[in-house]
Structure 1
Amino acid sequence: MAREAKTIAIAGAGSIGCYVGGCLALAGRKVVLLARPRVEATLRKDGLRVSDLDGRDRRLAPEALSVTADPAAALAGADIVLVTVKSGATEEMTALIAAHARPEAVVVSLQNGVGNADRLRAGLAGRRVLAGMVPFNIVQSPDGEAPFRMHRASEGKVMVEDGVAGLAGLLDVEGLAVETHADMKAVLWGKLLMNLNNALVALSGLPLATELADRRWRLILAGQIGEALAAMKACGIQPARIAGLRPALLPKVLGLPDWMFRRLARRMLAIDPEARSSMWDDLQRGRPTEIGELQGAVLALAEKAGVPAPLTAGVLALVREAERQKRGSPGLAPEAVTPGRRSG
């Protein structure tokens, strides 16, 4: 795949989309960002700042960015379409790609959850659609800060389904490590296990590093992971390793005393102190969360397998209530998430 000639459309210039698109543009790739009108106006006026946990802090001037709110303008000339919208917008983006992108364009889902690539394929019959996984957190600058800044606050390589020669090389640039993987189903289910923590960050209002450093919260995450693993085992799903650990070990590691966890789980704790979760950000902004694609996916699998998952169901219910309240994070203590359960 010749790098210079390929146009990459970022289908959803939110936090992940702007970070990925910014890194690609800084590396000289031909990138067009499909953004909401508000984001388009901000990027056209002030440009984009891209920083990361490794100390990079780079800026793209407005004239160095190609950004539009017009789906036809963004998608019509694209060779690669990176889908970075939230899961709730997958069907809408699928329709836009079907209407405006060329049939030979390669579509890559860089979204949370385990089913978005399949949902894209269902609406894009006959097209090449690949699953992908983004492992890191992006912290977006506060409203009003200029230029718009996207900060990668944790580590990890983006994984893309194998099948298109040269694709990883096209996307693998400074600040954005990308490699292919032959078993994306395992990767996505493995990532979902750790993404079950997104809801706990959202419910607590704590930064991710602070929340993970507290055994009371880790025990809630461990309980959810245990329920998910039981459902996966019953359905014959084998998730990939997480931070170098076999998934079956995660509940035990998460349940360790704080001092021991800090020593043994350094990779998990390699997180910028300001990082939270996209689900926390959604609650703060009064938007629907991806709880249905995360805890909801586990509950659907558990129901299919006839396996109980009461803790996961309780977490989902609390997030749904916070969505309805539209007051941001409820700032719950761990005991409020697991009433009647022992945390220690």
Structure 2
Amino acid sequence: MKIAVMGAGAVGCYYGALLAAGGHALTMIGRMQHVQAMQRDGLRLSAANGTEFVVPVQASTETAAVQGAQLVLVCVKSTDTDAAAAAMAPYLAPDAVLLSLQNGVDNAERLQAALGRPVLPAVVYVATEMAGPGHVKHHGRGELVIGPSADSDRIAEVLRAAGIPVEVSDHAMAALWTKLILNCAFNAFSALTELPYGRLVQVTGLLPAMREVVDECLRVAHAAGVTTLEDEVVWQAVMRIAQTMPGQRSSTAQDLSRRKPTEIDHLNGFVVRTGERLGVPTPANRVLWVAVKARESA
């Protein structure tokens, strides 16, 4: 299959490397330093199990490189979703399947509105970071949950054949909200302390503060009509993150360390805005949102 990855960051490079290793024709679209490294040396993956391999891929800084792709993995930051949709629109094949592998709950909806075509939402549970130009490091997990559609089962089989665990679920929106809550619980705290998840939860007073953030998110989700989320089940999922990804620093922390804009407006900021619209107070999420925005400004 001809596959394009729009946004060759840590998530896009991880799944792109697995698909390329599985024999698919990969085109990675990203920033110049990563593109040049992949053109010269291939895409390098250091896996959590200690294995390491390099796969040849096509790489480009031009969005036109999505042309002819049968599957497009959209992996750009939530802040870049609308711009990416506008840039891709003239080049997408009529029968191309788009899969959003992004943080937040509304990216697939935003892409779909901008492009006027279906976009599959996916919930991504993976710990990765870019270790250097064209080099992605995997810290753990890697499963996906994707929403149902006429193409979902076919795309899921392609992904599974490349070694990517995939579940097709009617409850993808609840799963997206659960992932959003996990991000709201960890990302800002990790960014502000520069600690990985395993050490973060050992900080005195951190867990009760994190529980306040999670409880606010749950109240907002319930008010928004996502009623299938169970409070204790979500909290247990939060605790599992620290166990399964102890060495991971959040993407928000990685962005701040590189002096890049973060996705905090689409994480805790999204919860704050949705809470305001629905009349649900979110003081804990507001403090984290504003604190990260202050760090961005600095």
Structure-1-length-normalised TM-score: 0.80
> Which residue matches 2:21?
26
Write the distance in 2 (CA, Å) between the matches of 1:227 and 1:283. 25
Residue 247 (structure 1) aligned to one of 227, 231, 235: 231
Evaluate the alpha carbon distance shift between residue 30 and residue 239 of structure 1 in structure 2; reply closer, same or farther with a 3 A threshold.
farther
Write the distance in 2 (CA, Å) between the matches of 1:293 and 1:68. 27
Q: Give the deviation of 1:49 after TM superposition.
A: 1.7
Write the distance in 2 (CA, Å) between the matches of 1:236 and 1:100. 36
Write the distance in 1 (CA, Å) between the matches of 2:275 and 2:192. 23
Write the distance in 2 (CA, Å) between the matches of 1:239 and 1:212. 27
1:77 paired to 2:63: no
Q: State the Cα deviation string for residues 120-156 of structure 1 (Å, max 9, x = none).
A: 011111x22111111112122146xxxx321221224
Write the distance in 1 (CA, Å) between the matches of 2:97 and 2:114. 14
> Which residue matches 1:66?
58
Letter matched to residue 181 of structure 2 = L
1:134 paired to 2:118: no
Letter matched to residue 81 of structure 2 = T
Letter matched to residue 148 of structure 2 = D
> Pairwise mapping of residues 119-158 of structure 1 onto structure 2 (< 5 A)?
119-125=110-116, 127-142=117-132, 148-158=134-144
Q: Give the deviation of 1:179 after TM superposition.
A: 2.4
1:270 paired to 2:280: no
8 Å Cα contact 1:138-1:153 kept in structure 2: yes
Write the distance in 2 (CA, Å) between the matches of 1:10 and 1:65. 11
1:294 paired to 2:267: yes
Q: Give the deviation of 1:249 after TM superposition.
A: 4.8
Evaluate the alpha carbon distance shift between residue 271 and residue 251 of structure 1 in structure 2; reply closer, same or farther with a 3 A threshold.
closer
Evaluate the alpha carbon distance shift between residue 238 and residue 136 of structure 1 in structure 2; reply closer, same or farther with a 3 A threshold.
farther
Number of matched residues?
295
Write the distance in 2 (CA, Å) between the matches of 1:180 and 1:54. 26
Write the distance in 2 (CA, Å) between the matches of 1:236 and 1:89. 27
Q: State the Cα deviation string for residues 197-251 of structure 1 (Å, max 9, x = none).
A: 11110011111221133352222221101111112222321355xxxxx433555
Write the distance in 2 (CA, Å) between the matches of 1:76 and 1:149. 25
8 Å Cα contact 1:222-1:250 kept in structure 2: no
Q: Percent sequence identity over matched residues?
A: 32
Letter matched to residue 288 of structure 1 = P
Write the distance in 2 (CA, Å) between the matches of 1:248 and 1:299. 22
Q: Give the deviation of 1:78 after TM superposition.
A: 0.6
Q: Which moved more, 1:312-321 or 1:154-163?
A: 154-163
8 Å Cα contact 2:197-2:242 kept in structure 1: no
Q: State the Cα deviation string for residues 33-85 of structure 1 (Å, max 9, x = none).
A: 1122221111122222212323332222xxx211112221x211111111000
Evaluate the alpha carbon distance shift between residue 37 and residue 321 of structure 1 in structure 2; reply closer, same or farther with a 3 A threshold.
same
8 Å Cα contact 1:202-1:280 kept in structure 2: yes
> Which residue matches 1:212?
201
Write the distance in 2 (CA, Å) between the matches of 1:201 and 1:314. 14
Write the distance in 2 (CA, Å) between the matches of 1:226 and 1:203. 21
Write the distance in 1 (CA, Å) between the matches of 2:228 and 2:156. 22
Q: Which moved more, 1:298-307 or 1:116-125?
A: 298-307
Write the distance in 1 (CA, Å) between the matches of 2:259 and 2:189. 17
Gap regions ≥5 residues in structure 2 = none
SS at match of 1:292: helix
Give the root-mean-square deviation of aligned CA atoms. 2.0
Q: Which runs of 4+ in 1 moved over 3 A?
A: 246-254, 265-268
> Pairwise mapping of residues 1-344 of structure 1 onto structure 2 (< 5 A)?
6-60=1-55, 64-72=56-64, 74-125=65-116, 127-142=117-132, 148-163=134-149, 164=151, 165-196=153-184, 197-214=186-203, 216-238=205-227, 246-251=230-235, 265=239, 268-271=242-245, 273=247, 275-325=248-298
Letter matched to residue 208 of structure 2 = L
Letter matched to residue 22 of structure 2 = A
Write the distance in 2 (CA, Å) between the matches of 1:266 and 1:95. 37
Structure-2-length-normalised TM-score: 0.92
